[in-house]
Each structure stands twice: as structure tokens, then as C-alpha cells.
Amino acid sequence: MTVVPIEPLPAASLHPEEIKAVFDLRVGKHISLQGSARITPAGVISAGIAVAAMTLAVGYLVSSSRSYRS
């Protein structure tokens, strides 16, 4: 049995509609932060659905705690 090594994926974008963000933040003379993020449109929609579901759940808990006190 021969083991064939798997080649890593190229660093190029795998999704044609990928959204990229890069930032450089300097604080004072000695602190420098660099960051980057990538997301696809499907990821944006999924994040929106997750935030909406959490907001709905928290709203339900807050409204039920108010009616419990009365």
C-alpha cells in the first residue's frame, strides 16, 4: 500500500464572491495589530439568522421575566 501525500490547497480565493477585510491598528509607538477576515455571502446570511434567533430568544426571556415579576 502506497501513501500519497495530500497537497495543501492554494492560498488563492476558493469562492468567487468572497468578501475580504484587512486592517492595521497602531496604538502608541510600540503596539501594532494587524488582522484580516474572509466571509462568503452564505456566511453573512448564516450569521444574520443566528443573530436573529439569539435576539428572539433573549427577547422572549426578558418578556417572560417581566410578566413573572408582576
pLDDT in tens, 12-69: 656 678 888 898 989 988 999 999 988 899 999 999 999 999 999 999 999 888 766 6
**Would 50 be classed as within a structural domain?**
yes
pLDDT of residue 1: 54
Residue 13, pLDDT score: 56
23 belongs to a structural domain:
no
Q: Which three cell numbers stand for residue 21?
A: 477585510
Q: Name beta bridge partners: 23.
A: 35
The answer to the question of residue 65 being in a domain is yes
Q: How many domains does the chain have?
A: 1
3-state helix, strand, coil in the chain (%, to 5): 40, 25, 35
> Is 62 within the bounds of a domain?
yes
Range of the domain at 65: 42-70
- Which pLDDT belongs to residue 18? 86
Q: Say if 55 falls within a structural domain.
A: yes
- Cα three-residue angle 47-18-44, rounded to 5 degrees: 10
| Statement: residue 3 has pLDDT above 90 | no
